[in-house]
Structure 1
């Protein structure tokens, strides 16, 4: 490859992810690395997955048929896990992207991380903390489709910014600096390490720098190509 983008294996649980968001999800993955392997799992004889069947060819996905032989038993989950372990043992990939809101994949994410691979989770806001927190990073589908979401009311937005401020303070308290100024990139990394589902888009801003500047009790200044932040007196 011409660049050093991480090689990613993207595994999608069609039973737990709306097909209408597939394009936005793959665009987000492409921003992170090279989605060299793209598989989606489901029982394609089910009418519930017709939406996925229509878009699979256009998105370059490989559909894996997982027939549900028994009711209330999710064959797709088992097929995805088996494939993930086979892919892991090829040692070809730098990381996995698990696209699902199902906490059943918590153990899989943990196992992949034990082998030193990065695990990125993508799912809806209903995804349990058990899956969110075991990933290196967890991305909410809602943040990828903000155009469909109405603007938050001021009171709710203020509460979200207050929550973001607390995360900044928590991160700063864990970083040693010689003065009051912190590198914003380091603060963001510290927040993400403690809260894998942290995303500036959850607080109404596309970038971490925009969020920092929106927090009234945070002061910012530029230093070369870096943005520095500190708590206001």
Structure 2
């Protein structure tokens, strides 16, 4: 299915209410309440694109039309952890605000004893259905900071659709690395508390493309940080942990915001530019390790494996002879001689008699 017209960008919005509400509540109770009761405010800023920050793709300069907006929430009242009182901003008490703002409201009751609801699964199923819809939807906005949606973004990208996510301080790097734009918690907080974005008065200008020298400098800075972290670690480091650390140390703009030095992904950057002594495993789950240290640690393991392989051969070779003759033992040096290409030491004549 291809887009048939050059009209406005057709956008769909999927809101994981509990995920966004609880994230905002940790920062500001007032902002969380306004998010729950004034959905019309922030949905307009999504429609204009003012609330979106382009990350891995250029910002869109076309008109945007929201054709589907759905809100998924838990219909069971939530209690405040501080005093066990009912949270009056939990979904069952605010769902009518979303209905009045034009949202399609979908109840996702808890299915387990841990009160885990099925909002994320319902969202995934609905996104999948829209990929085969008669209407070609250009953009999918997933208001959730849950990295479990990462495979969904990969699927949407394979269908050449644009993706926008909600991100906060704890959003995983693989999730932000695959999206085209972010609705950042800091911007949403500013809109909800102050009524406008901090940069709303500023005219947005297209960002100048970085030079080849600056891109190379960014790559070297990231690779240097990775090499230092791996050399200082006592064991191989998971790829995700390294990516997260680089974002925290170097900042979002130098890492995810710059598409990892223009390579597109963190793993592609490491595959191209790691130093000789730092290696990346070939198969998932991916780890990065110090090859020099690994070679030194592997030597005694090889000797142990050789000795373990030799011992069973002496017991298992010619079992009928083992019953009639006493078992002859060999010293480690004599057993390793064929492997090392050396001549075994001859036993004294008196011992052979």
Q: TM-score, normalised to structure 2's length?
A: 0.41
Structure 1 residue 90 displacement after superposition:
0.5
Report the equivalent of 1:134: 178
Question: Shift of the alpha carbon at 1:29?
Answer: 1.7
Corresponding residue of 2:212? 173
| Residue pair 1:16, 1:102 contacting (<8 A) in 2 also | yes
SS in 2 for 1:40: strand
Distance across 2 between alignment mates of 1:193 and 1:4: 30
Q: Please say if residues 111 and 117 of structure 2, whose CA atoms lie closer than 8 Å, have aligned partners that are also in contact.
A: no
Displacement of 1:77: 0.6
Alignment correspondent of 2:129: 86
Does the CA-based 8 Å contact 1:81-1:108 persist in structure 2?
Answer: yes
Structure 2 contact 74–117 (Cα < 8 Å) conserved: no
Asked whether 1:10 is paired with 2:41, we answer no
Q: Is the 8 A contact 2:147 2:171 kept in 1?
A: yes
Count residues in correspondence.
163
Aligned match of 1:153 = none
Residues 116 and 169 from structure 1, CA distance in 2 versus in 1: closer, same or farther, beyond 3 angstroms?
A: closer
TM-score normalised by the chain length of structure 1? 0.60
Stretches of structure 1 that go unaligned for 5 or more consecutive residues are 150-167, 176-187, 196-233
Of the two, which has the highest radius of gyration?
Answer: 2
Contact 2:72 2:108 in 1 (8 A): yes
Per the alignment, residue 36 of structure 1 pairs with 67
Give runs of ≥4 in structure 1 deviating > 6 Å: none
Q: Which residue does 2:267 correspond to in 1? A: none
CA contact 1:17–1:123 (8 Å) conserved in 2: no
1:63 aligns with 105
* C-alpha deviation, 1:46, in angstroms: 3.2
3-state SS in 2 of match to 1:143? helix
1:107-186 counterparts in 2 under 5 A?
107-146=151-190, 148=193, 171-173=210-212
1:109 Cα deviation after fit: 1.2
Residue number in structure 1 paired with 2:222: none
In structure 2, the residue corresponding to 1:171 is in which secondary structure?
Answer: coil
Higher strand share: 1
Distance 1:136 1:13, change over 3 A: same
Deviation at 1:108?
Answer: 0.9
Q: For 1:49 and 1:100, how far apart are their aligned partners in 2?
A: 15
Equivalent-residue separation in structure 1 for 2:174 and 2:134 (angstroms): 26
Question: Cα RMSD over matched residues?
Answer: 3.1
Match of 2:44 among 16, 27, 33: 27
